[in-house]
Amino acid sequence: MAKSTSVAEAVRILAEPIAEELGCWIWDVEYVKEGARRVLRITIDSEEGVTIDDCEKMHRAIDPILDEADPIEEQYYLEVSSPGIERDLKTEEHVIACEGWDVEVRLYAPLNGSKLFRGVLLALGQQGEVRIETPSGVMEFPRSTVAKLMTYFEF
């Protein structure tokens, strides 16, 4: 298991009860290198959406817990944020939560000359295929062919 994955999993375990106490849930945890710095990014969500105050409360609540548990050896920056209106859908839970939303599917390799498809997200197929409703009908993409799945919003 990659170190960043194990750090993210350890942090998720520590953060989930705190998020629940604050009336939200963990959308994602990432431990990444951005330039010369390491960033621990905890993304939270709730039924009502997330405000900057919610992020600040989560940051204040998780910071001492992380200091005590010390799951990260290096120096890092802690960020707490909302997933936003345009969000990456990385897990089955993310897909289920966003069924009926407008999504963008980016493929690793072109299909019919295109790597980008947009439509309304449907329930996953029986083998976990990403399914979207487009003006020309339902399209299915095996998960292994999907480079990125994200919601989109036209401004």
pLDDT digits (tens, 9 = 90+) for 95-124: 999 999 999 999 999 999 999 999 999 999
- For β-strands 102-111 and 114-121, DSSP reports them as antiparallel
Same domain, 125 and 59: no
Q: What percent of the chain has pLDDT over 70?
A: 97
User: 128 is in which domain, residue-wise?
Assistant: 92-151
Asked if 54 and 22 count as a contact pair (C-beta separation under 8 A), the reply is: yes
pLDDT for 5: 63
Asked whether the predicted pLDDT for residue 26 surpasses 80, the reply is yes
Same domain, 100 and 58: no
- Would you say residue 41 lies in a domain? yes
Query: What confidence tens digit (pLDDT) does each residue in 131-145 have?
Result: 999 999 999 999 999
Determine the distance from the C-alpha atom of residue 2 to the mean position of all C-alpha atoms in its chain, rounded to a whole number: 18
CATH number at 11 reads 3.30.300.70
Q: Quick check: is 86 in a domain?
A: no
Give the number of domains in the chain.
2
Are residues 19 and 70 part of one domain?
yes
Mean pLDDT for 34-50 is 94
CA atoms of 154 and 58, how far apart (whole Å): 30
User: Which one-letter amino acid corresponds to residue 7?
Assistant: V
Residue 52: C-alpha distances to residues 59, 82, 155 (Å): 10, 8, 22
For residues 63 and 4, what is the distance between their CA atoms, to the nearest angstrom?
18
3-state secondary structure of 136: coil
